Amino acid sequence: MAFFVLLAIVVAALVISYALMPKPKQPKPPAVQDLDNPTAEAGREIPVVFGTITVKALNVLDFTDKSIHSYEIKA
């Protein structure tokens, strides 16, 4: 009988600690205007990426429309 009482206390403590745990805040997405404009320069190195990485210094020939478009699709 004492085992079940202690088990109930432990489960209640776990539920209370989970409910009182601070929730992580969601990071805000960067604004489209904050993005760096890529440039095209002769002789500039082209990065080779393996895995997941953020490449800020791109070497491209065309960069257009810096805006966000949202579409609604009815399924």
> How do the pLDDT tens digits run along the chain, 75 residues long?
899 999 999 999 999 999 999 988 887 766 655 556 666 777 777 777 788 877 776 666 666 666 777 888 887
Task: Please classify residue 35 by burial: count the beta carbons closer than 10 Å to its beta carbon, then call 0-12 exposed, 13-18 middle and 19+ buried.
Answer: exposed
Q: Convert 7-20 to b/e letters by CB count within 10 Å (16 or more is b).
A: eeeeeeeeeeeeee
Give me the pLDDT at residue 44, please. 74
The reported pLDDT for the residue numbered 24 is: 87
pTM > 0.75 = no
